């Protein structure tokens, strides 16, 4: 049975490719999904995006039986203790992903309330950060890197 990995994207990430391409790049979420499916053909992905915090908490809970999860919380990174608590309760490998290098940006973006609840953080690698997160999950859980 192929490993199942959740790739969760939070608030405003549905506008990737249009919103501030000089910061977030020109790829859309669909482009990122296609890249991941191509690079990891043996993985069963669950791609989700929402602008609603409670719905995201529900997505995190659904990932309980998965091989792991990669999450880009967007702005929730900086203030969502509800998301922190949901991630903390999830016992699978978890990676926080940010397209931009948040540590080179505004001061308020440098603080994550989500980071203490995940196993790893990837920032500043653009879309490649998602692939790094998936690779990490696979290495932690299944011991395989690609198809």
Which residues in 74-93 are b (16+ Cβ under 10 Å) and which e?
Answer: bebbebbeebbebbeebebb
Cβ proximity of 5 and 134 under 8 Å: yes
**What's residue 146's pLDDT?**
42
Q: What element of type H or E holds 139? A: helix 128-141
pLDDT tens column, 9-53: 999 888 877 776 666 567 899 999 999 999 999 999 999 999 999
**What's residue 100's pLDDT?**
80
**What's residue 26's pLDDT?**
74
Choose the catalytic residue: 78, 84, 98, 136. 98
At 107, the pLDDT band (50, 70, 90 cuts) reads confident
Choose the catalytic residue: 24, 84, 130, 136. 24
**What's residue 27's pLDDT?**
83
**What's residue 105's pLDDT?**
60
Output the six-digit token pair for 16: 């990737």
pLDDT tens column, 58-106: 999 999 999 999 999 999 999 999 999 999 999 999 999 998 877 666 6
98 is an active site residue: yes
User: What domains can you pick out in the chain, each with its CATH number?
Assistant: 1-19+61-142 (3.40.50.9100)
HSE-CB of 46 using CA atoms within 13 angstroms: 19
- Secondary structure (DSSP) of 21-60: HHHH-S--HHHHHHHHHHH-TT-EEEEEE-S-HHHHHHHH
């Amino acid at each position: 049975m192929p490993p199942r990995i959740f790739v969760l994207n939070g608030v405003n990430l549905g506008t990737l490719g249009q919103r501030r391409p000089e910061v977030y790049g020109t790829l859309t979420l669909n482009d990122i999904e296609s890249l991941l499916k191509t690079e990891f053909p043996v993985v069963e992905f669950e791609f989700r995006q929402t602008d609603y915090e409670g719905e995201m908490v529900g997505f995190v809970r659904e990932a309980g039986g998965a091989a792991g999860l990669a999450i880009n919380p967007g702005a929730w990174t900086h203030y969502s203790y509800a998301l922190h608590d949901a991630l903390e309760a999830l016992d699978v490998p978890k990676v926080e992903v940010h397209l931009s290098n948040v540590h080179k940006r505004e001061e308020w973006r440098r603080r994550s309330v989500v980071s203490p609840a995940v196993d790893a953080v990837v920032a500043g690698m653009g879309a490649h950060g998602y692939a790094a997160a998936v690779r990490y999950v696979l290495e932690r859980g299944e011991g395989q890197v690609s198809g």
